[in-house]
Structure 1
Amino acid sequence: MDLRLSRERQARLDLVEGLKVYIAGQIMPSLRQEFENWCEAENPNETKLRDSKFMQRKFGPDPLYQTSRGLQRLSQEAMWREVIFGLNERKTEIEKQLDSDYQNPGSLTLNSNLTMPDYYENNEFHLQPGNFHKNTIAGPIYEVGVATYTMHRYGKAGDEMGQALVSVLPDQPFKRVLYMGCGPAYKSYPIMNALPDAEHWGIDLAAPMLKYARHRAVENGKPMHFSQMNAEDMDFPDDHFDLVFCMLLLHEVPTKAVTNIVNEAARVLAPGGVLANLELPSYDSLDPLSAFLMDWDTEHNGEPYWRDYHEMDLIQAYQDAGLKAKMTEAHSEWGGAKGNYMGKFRYHVTIGHKP
C-alpha cells in the first residue's frame, strides 16, 4: 500500500519531525545539564529523585523542563493531525484496498460483537485520535505516525523490536506461535522469518488494525492468521501454542488486565511453551531524570497505565500463572531511515516457561 503523503502534507510532517529531533538533540542535553546543576545545589537523595511527586513539585516548575514537555505534547498532537489530514486525502482509496478479499496466504477473522474493554474504549493511546479502533484507516495512520514519533529510528522496515526479541528467544522448536496485541503486525516479521515452518497467529481488539495487518502481510508474503480477540479472554483451546509473545502491549492496559493476559497466555501455552513480553526498560533500571521524563507520558502522552505497569511485579504475575520466569535484556540496532538516533537500544524481555 502506498502511504506517501502529498508534497505539502509531507513537508508539514517533516517540520514536526524536525521539531522532535530538535527537542531530543538540543533541548534534552541542556535539560540534563540543568537537572545536574539542580541536584548539585539541592542535593536530593536517591529516594526523592525516584519519587515522581517530589520531582514534579521540585523540578517540575523548571522553565526548561516546562518548555521541553510543552513542545513534546505540541509535536505529538501536530504529528497526528498532519498524518490524518494527509491520509484522509486518499481515504476512500485506502479503505477499498483494506476491504480486499484475500484468499491467501493466511486469514482474517473479525468479530463485530466483540465488546471493547472500558480502558480501551475510553482512551486514545499515544494521543492517536479515535484510538486504534474508531477510524477505518487507523492502521496506516499508526504506521506513518509512529515513524515520525520515533524519528525513523526503527528503520524503513519498522521491525527492530522483533529483531531484538528473536535474539533472546530460547533455542527450541516452535510449531505454533501467537502474537498478542499485534496491531499492524510488521514488528513480528523477524520472528516469522526465524520460524518459517511455524503456524503464526496474531490477535488484536481493533478491526481496522487487523485489516491493515492482513493487507500488509499479504503484500509481504507473510502467511499469518489474524483474529479479533481480547487477549484477556481468548477463544483458543488450552495447550495450543508453543510460543506466545507481545511487544509494548502490557503497559497499555491496567494491571488487572495484565494479570488476566498473563493467565490466558499461560492457559493457551502447551507444556514446555514460552511466553515472552518485550517492553521498554523499567524505571528502576534508568537514571532518575530519564525515569521522571518517561513517567511524564502517564499523564500527558496517552499512556494512562504506564506508571502502574512499571511499578507492578511482572515476574510474580508469571509465577502466579504457573510459569517459571526470568527477565533478560535484548538489544537492537537503531538504524534511522533519515539518519536519526543511530545506535543500540535496550529492551527488557520477561520470559516464562510452562512446565
Structure 2
Amino acid sequence: MTVQLSEDRAALAHPLIAVPSHDELAEQLFVRDLKLYVMQQIEPVQGQIAAQEAKALEGAETNSTAALRTRMATHESFGSWLALKRESQRQLWHGVARSVERQADDLEALARIENPKGSVRTDPSFVEPAYVAQGDIHLMPGGNAHDDGSLLQGAVMDRGGAVYMLGRNGGMLNDLRGQTAMAHVLTRFPDFSPKRILDMGCGIGTSTVPAAQCFPDAEVHGIDVGASMLRYAHARAEHLGAAVHFSQQSAEKTDFEDASFDLVFSCVMFHETSQAATMAIVEESRRLLRPGGLAVHLEVPLLHDNSDPWVELSGELEAQFNNEPNWRGALTADYRALFEASGFKDVEIGYQATSPAARSGPFRFGPESEGVFRSWFVASGVV
C-alpha cells in the first residue's frame, strides 16, 4: 500500500471509506510497518529455530506440535514474536476505530442513499453462530457480528482490512480475492453468464462488488452475519455503482429457494467458521444452485498435510492469537471429497492466479500455489 501522508475523500477508492487525519495516517502506517517487520524479519527466524527444535524431536513418542511449542517457549524471541504479532493487531484496530468514530456523522450521512440500486435487509432477531460469537475474529473489537444500529463496524473493517492486508489485496478497495474468484469462473467457463449470483459471508462487500462488475446483467446478492457490516456494504456498493441486495443470514442455511442461483461463491470464509459449518455451507451451496450452476469457494493458499511441525504450530497460534476458529480445519480439509459428497461433479481443486480485474485475467489455474497474494486456493464444482 503506497499512501502519502495526506488523503482526501475524493482521492480514495470510494467516498465512504474513513479518511484519516495526518496523525491517524502516520499511526496506521506505523502499524503497517510494524506488522511487516514482525512478518518479514522476526517470523522467518522463528521458523529456522523451529526447524532445529523439530529435528531434535525426531523419533520422540510425543505430540510433535505440543512438544515443539514447549521447546519454542524456552526461546525469549518466540514470546517476543507472539507478543508483537498480537499487539500490532490490537494497535491496528484501536487506531482505525478512533479515526472512524471521529467521522461517524459524516459516514452516516454518506450512507443515506437516494434511489438506491440495491437493498439491505437486516434481522433484529438473528443469532450469530457460536464460532462467530465465541471470539472477536482477527481481534477486531466487537467481532464480525457487532451491531449498535450504525454502520461503523463496517467502516472499521473496511479501513482496517486494507491496513491489515498491507495493501496487497487490492489497495483500499481490498477486492483482489473477489476479482480472483470471478477470474476462476471465467477460467473454467469463459462464456458463463449467470443470471443470479450469491456471495456467502460477504462482509462489507469487497468480494461482492467484483461479481456485480464482472457480470453486470446478473442479480447479485450478498449475505453475512453482521448487520453493521451489511449496512456499510450496501452504501459502499452504491457509491461504487453496483446494484447488490444484502441480507443478514448464515451461510449454513439461507432463506433462498432451492435451485435459485447460477453462481454461489465465497472468499476466505471457511477458516472463520467451523468444520461442521464448512460441510453445511457446501451442502447449502449445492441446494441453492440450478442445474449447470457453479459453486466457487476461495481460501488462503496455505493448505498443507500436517507433515510440517512448524506449519502446524503456526496454524495453532494463528487460531489462538488471532481468533481464527477454523484455521487449521480449513487448511487441511479434503475439499474434493467434501464437494463430491455434497453432490457436485466436475470438481476442480487448485490455485487461481491473482487477478486485479476478473475479465483481464490472468486465467491461470493449476495444482501448485504461486505464493501468498500471487494466487489463492479455490475449490469449485458444477451441479
Q: TM-score, normalised by structure 1?
A: 0.88
- Residue identity in the other structure for 1:282: L
Find out whether 1:327 has 2:349 as its counterpart.
yes
CA positional deviation for 1:20: 0.7
- SS at 1:69 equivalent: helix
**Equivalent of 2:179 in 143, 159, 163:** 163
Aligned partner of 1:310 in structure 2 is 331
Q: 2:361 maps to which residue? A: none
SS in 2 for 1:162: helix
Report what 1:339 is aligned to. Answer: none
Output one character per residue of 1:202-227: Cα deviation in whole Å (capped at 9) or x when no partner. Answer: 11111111111111111010111111
Q: Is the 8 A contact 2:121 2:246 kept in 1?
A: yes
1:146 matched to 2:161: yes
- 1:316 deviates by 2.5
Unaligned runs of 5+ in 1: 335-341
Partners of 2:138 and 2:298 in 1: CA distance: 18
What is residue 72 of structure 1 aligned with on the other side? 85
Shift of 1:290: 4.2
Question: Using the alignment, how far apart are the partners of 1:275 and 1:9 within structure 2?
Answer: 41
User: Secondary structure of the equivalent of 1:234?
Assistant: coil
Kindly report which structure 2 residues correspond to 1:75-86, keeping only aligned pairs within 5 A, or say none: 75-86=88-99
Conservation of the 8 A alpha-carbon contact between 1:284 and 1:291: no
Q: Which residue of 2 aligns with 1:16?
A: 31
1:239-250 superposed matches below 5 A: 239-250=259-270
Post-superposition CA distance 1:87-118 (Å, at most 9, x none):
111223323433x2543212222222222222
Residues 178-213 of structure 1, C-alpha deviations (whole Å, 9 max, x = no match): 001101112233333322222111111111111111
Between the aligned partners of 2:183 and 2:60, the Cα distance in structure 1 is: 34
Give the aligned residue type for 1:15: F
Structure 1 equivalent of residue 374 of structure 2:
345
- Structure 2 equivalent of residue 269 of structure 1: 289
* Structure 2: distance between partners of 1:46 and 1:166: 47
Provide TM-score, normalisation by structure 2: 0.82
Cα contact 2:136–2:143 (8 A) shared by 1: yes
CA distance in 2, matches of 1:31, 1:148: 24
Q: State the distance in 2 between where 1:32 and 1:88 align.
A: 39
CA deviation after TM superposition for structure 1 residue 241, in Å = 0.5
Aligned length, in residue pairs: 344
Q: Which moved more, 1:198-207 or 1:113-122?
A: 113-122
Equivalence for 1:295 = 316
CA offsets, 1:110-164, max 9 Å, x none? 2222222222233211011011232431111011111221221122321111222
Shift of 1:51: 4.2
Q: Secondary structure at the match of 1:212?
A: helix
Distance 1:209 1:46, change over 3 A: farther
Letter in 1 for 2:276: K
Q: Identify the residue that residue 220 of structure 1 maps to in structure 2.
A: 240
Superposition deviation, residue 285 in structure 1 = 8.7
Question: 8 Å contact 1:328–1:351 — kept in the other structure?
Answer: no
Matched with 2:257 is 237
Q: Is the 8 A contact 2:200 2:222 kept in 1?
A: yes
Q: Does 1:97 align with 2:110?
A: yes
With over 3 angstroms needed to count, the CA separation of the structure-2 counterparts of 1:198 and 1:286, relative to structure 1, is farther
Q: Which stretch of the first structure deviates more once superposed, 287-296 or 211-220?
A: 287-296
Tell me how far apart the structure 2 counterparts of residues 212 and 38 of structure 1 sit (CA, whole Å).
47
Work out the CA distance in 2 between the residues paired with 1:142 and 1:148.
Answer: 10
SS at match of 1:284: coil
Structure 2 residue 91 is the aligned partner of structure 1 residue 62: no
Query: Post-superposition shift, 1:39?
Result: 5.1
Does the 8 Å contact 1:276/1:350 carry over to 2? yes
C-alpha spacing 1:30/1:190, structure 2 compared with 1 (3 Å): same
Q: CA deviation at 1:71?
A: 0.5
